[in-house]
Amino acid sequence: MSAARASWSERSRLVRARRLLATRHPQTFTEKVRYKMLRDHRPLLVTFADKAAVRSYVAAAVGEQLLPFVYAISPDPQILRTLSVPDAYVVKPTHGSGAAIVVSPGGQGDTTLPLASEGWVYRHVRPDAVDSVHLAAVAEGWLGQLYGQGPNREWAYGLVPRQVLVEEFLTGRNGGVPDDLKFFVFHGRCHYIQVDAGRFGQRTQDFYDSAWCRLPLSGGPAWADPPHERPRALEEMISVAERLGADTDFVRVDLYDLGDRVVFGELTSYPAGGDSPFEPHSYNAAFGRPWTVPKRYR
């Protein structure tokens, strides 16, 4: 049978077989992420990917005090039309990454909600820019999408119940959106930390080792100038990240340091879907070095 006439399922098996063959002996970080995406089908990864279910995992591992407050979790996006919320909150889907509507007085005045058909984006808006019917339509669009490109790639997201999550707006030290600290945990030990700042403005991205020495590494966005100060809660955050990553060979743990408390963000098993950029490229190998992938995940 020619490839042009092959059924979807047959093409899918062929694609998967080629990917399995191509990732047999991974060395770099991106190669090992792709290896994990294809071979690690443990239910734990579905829990990590599910922004609702992961809350129970976090509460059991490090305590519910690290969780952001939740106003609602529902499979019905129409709850957004009548839900009582303060003037600052966040709405996101539970079954994917890269989509959120952040509502707070600090949003730019001319920023509007995205079209429902183009809603898989980050958007920071002011409360007066939110029409609840429009917001519900955006969330309806989220729940109609299968995130993760199916069973051959980020398969775990496809098993997550599609719901809408409404949680508290986290305020950083400067009163705005806090920096996002991402801890790369291999076999229960943190080796690297990524800091993303200015998500809705002048975005910067920096990388540090676990002792907070900045690495001459670029992942695309500019470096912060001046460099970030060492977080006062760094040791606490590393401890939290390592406890959350103790049950797996690799996971990226996202946390926020709000000054008076550390708050959990998410657990990511497949950063950038296995396509993380590294400049210089030698850091791709460096990030892969502390990670020993098993021959078989159990």
Q: How far is Cα 95 from Cα 79, in angstroms, rounded to an integer?
A: 18
pTM listed for this prediction: 0.92
Q: What are residue 111's DSSP bridge partners?
A: none
54, pLDDT greater than 50: yes
Q: Minimum mean pLDDT among 132-141, 195-204, 217-226, 255-264: which range?
A: 195-204
Write a three-state SS string for the chain: CCHHHCCHHHHHHHHHHHHHHHCCCCCCHHHHHHHHHHHCCCHHHHHHHCCCCHHHHHHHHHCHHHCCCEEEEECCHHHHHCCCCCCCEEEEECCCCCCEEEECCCCCCCCCCCCHHHCCCEEEECHHHCCHHHHHHHHHHHHCCCCCCCCCCCHHHHHCCCCEEEEECCCCCCCCCCCEEEEEEECCEEEEEEEEECCCCCCEEEEEECCCCECCCECCCECCCCCCCCCCCHHHHHHHHHHHCCCCCEEEEEEEECCCCEEEEEEECCHHHHCCCCECCHHHHHHHCCCCCCCCCC
Share the mean pLDDT of the chain: 92
* Residue 4 binned pLDDT confidence (cut-offs 50, 70, 90): very low
Residue type, 188: G
Please say whether the beta carbons of 212 and 184 come within 8 A.
Answer: no
State residue 134 phi and psi, 5-degree precision.
-65, -45
3, pLDDT greater than 50: no
Q: Which of 169, 171, 178 minimizes the C-alpha distance to 70?
A: 169
Query: Judging by beta carbons within 10 Å of its beta carbon (0-12, 13-18, 19+), is residue 285 exposed, middle or buried?
Result: middle
- When pLDDT is averaged across residues 261-284 and rounded to a whole number, the result is 95
Q: How far is Cα 22 from Cα 295, in angstroms, rounded to an integer?
A: 15
Percent of the chain predicted with pLDDT > 90: 81
What is the CB neighbour count within 10 angstroms for residue 128?
11
Taking the CA atoms of residue 43, residue 45, residue 49 and residue 55 in that order, the dihedral angle to the nearest 10 degrees is 70
What is the CB neighbour count within 10 angstroms for residue 111?
14
- When pLDDT is averaged across residues 187-200 and rounded to a whole number, the result is 94
CATH number for the domain running over 29-41+171-288: 3.30.470
Report the pLDDT value the prediction gives residue 173, as an integer from 0 to 100.
78
* Residue 135 binned pLDDT confidence (cut-offs 50, 70, 90): very high
* Residue 287 binned pLDDT confidence (cut-offs 50, 70, 90): very high
State residue 242 phi and psi, 5-degree precision.
-70, -35
Report the pLDDT value the prediction gives residue 1, as an integer from 0 to 100.
37
Digit-coded pLDDT (tens) for 166-179: 999 999 877 788 99
Digit-coded pLDDT (tens) for 29-47: 999 999 999 999 999 999 9
Report the pLDDT value the prediction gives residue 74, as an integer from 0 to 100.
98
- When pLDDT is averaged across residues 125-133 and rounded to a whole number, the result is 97
202, pLDDT greater than 90: no
Please say whether the beta carbons of 272 and 214 come within 8 A.
Answer: no
Digit-coded pLDDT (tens) for 59-104: 999 999 999 999 999 999 999 999 999 999 999 999 999 999 999 9
- When pLDDT is averaged across residues 149-162 and rounded to a whole number, the result is 84
151, pLDDT greater than 60: no
Please say whether the beta carbons of 247 and 14 come within 8 A.
Answer: no
Report the pLDDT value the prediction gives residue 9, as an integer from 0 to 100.
52
**Annotated domain spans of the chain:** 29-41+171-288, 70-168
Report the pLDDT value the prediction gives residue 162, as an integer from 0 to 100.
97
Report the pLDDT value the prediction gives residue 112, as an integer from 0 to 100.
96
Tokens of 243: 């406890």
User: 234-244 vs 54-62: helix axis angle to the nearest 10?
Assistant: 120
214, pLDDT greater than 90: yes
Please say whether the beta carbons of 226 and 200 come within 8 A.
Answer: no
197, pLDDT greater than 70: yes
